Amino acid sequence: MSLFEELIEGKKKDKHIVKSFEPKDTLSDQIFDEEKKGNFVMRGDVRKRLIEISNDFIESLNVEFFVHDVVLTGSLANYNWSQYSDIDLHILIDYEESKYEKDILKEFFDAKKQVWNEKHNIKIKGSEVEVYVQDVNEEHISSGVYSILHNKWVIEPEKDKPNIDDRKILEKGEEFAKRIDHLIKHYSESTIEQLEDLRKKIKDFRQSGLESGGEYSYENLVFKLLRRNGYIQKLLKLKTQIKDRKLSITQ
């Protein structure tokens, strides 16, 4: 495939991803059963397996702590689910119950999460499972949160008709993608500082959208585009490559 053909295919894929942001009429029937009109409860087999997965992850931490809840959040707990959706499984604990500082705890749990997620390739009804430890006092930004332990909604999602500007999302996504491609192309001159600066810009960009406009904000949808088309992963992979280059002796 020529470079031109790759660009065309990339643009087609991005358009398809953006179209997937449109909300559905119902929740995913792979995850939820509709007991009566508009009343959804998690499928028994799915709930049982997610509890088993969370227990396995908790055991891998080798740390004693009280689990306040285990919840499903993200697009699969909402009407904006799609073929790209992951199962976002959050373990809720109270950081204040620990003798360690919050920043240290967050770094520890993030590292453990990354190791566990890289080690496992678990799928539920075709959706990959991503496990995350969350402070119980952290505000839920998601408009859909389901308690797996208590088998009920913490935040029940509502049908919405957001105004999604496909062109605007695609243009901003392409802007970030070009900056990532530039760092990759000039890999030998790229630095960790440049990479971290771009990561922070993307993170802050998304966070500002979540705080001001929620899940359907233009900023969050741009981030989702970059995650689903592989550019966030490219950025993370580049960081590892630059670190390896810096620590290597070639002559």
Separation of alpha carbons 227 and 82, rounded Å:
14
pLDDT at 3: 62
Task: Print pLDDT tens along the chain (251 aa).
Answer: 666 667 778 889 999 999 999 999 999 999 999 987 778 999 999 999 999 999 999 999 888 889 999 999 999 999 999 999 999 999 999 998 888 888 888 899 989 988 888 888 899 999 999 999 999 988 777 889 999 999 999 999 988 888 889 999 999 999 999 999 999 998 888 888 999 999 999 999 999 998 888 888 999 999 999 999 999 999 989 988 888 888 888 77
Domain limits of the chain? Answer: 3-20+162-247, 32-155
Sole residue written with tokens 């996504």? 173
Decide if domain 32-155 falls under CATH 3.30.300. yes
Per DSSP, the residues of the chain read: --HHHHHHHHHHHHHHHHHTTSPPSS--TTTEEEEETTEEEE-HHHHHHHHHHHHHHHHHHT------EEEEESGGGSTT--TT--EEEEEEE-GGGSSS-HHHHHHHHHHHHHHHHHH---EETTEEEEEEEEETTS---SS-EEETTTTEEEE----------HHHHHHHHHHHHHHHHHHHHTTTT--HHHHHHHHHHHHHHHHHHHHHHGGGSHHHHHHHHHHHTTHHHHHHHHHHHHHHHHH----
| pTM assigned to the model | 0.83
